Amino acid sequence: MLELRPNCERCDCDLPAASVDALICSFECTFCRACAEQALALRCPNCGGELVRRPIRPAEKLERFPASTQRVH
């Protein structure tokens, strides 16, 4: 299950679980759309993988399967 990390690993902006501006790689490194597109050219700086839009977990599932609260920077 995806962690749904709460922030961009580059600029530390908030990325709530329902954000359409969160992009991830296959290792779940998480970046905001601005950093991913402008600074990273849609490539993860950690693994070199493609950054794609993070899926949104349905609100009714967040209660049982909450998003992570651990910030990565």
From the CA atom positions of the chain, what is the Rg in Å? 11
Residue 42, pLDDT > 90, answer yes
Indicate left, alpha or beta for 12 from its phi (over 0: left) and psi (-120 to 50: alpha).
left
pTM over 0.85: yes
Query: Taking the mean position of all CA atoms in its chain, how far away is CA 55?
Result: 9
- Average pLDDT for residues 37-47, to the nearest whole number? 98
- Of the pLDDT bands very low, low, confident and very high (cuts 50, 70, 90), residue 23 is very high
d(CA 57, CA 19): 10
21 touches 33 (CB < 8 A): yes
Residue 56, pLDDT > 90, answer yes
The pLDDT, as a whole number, for residue 73 is 86
* Percent residues over pLDDT 90 in the chain: 96
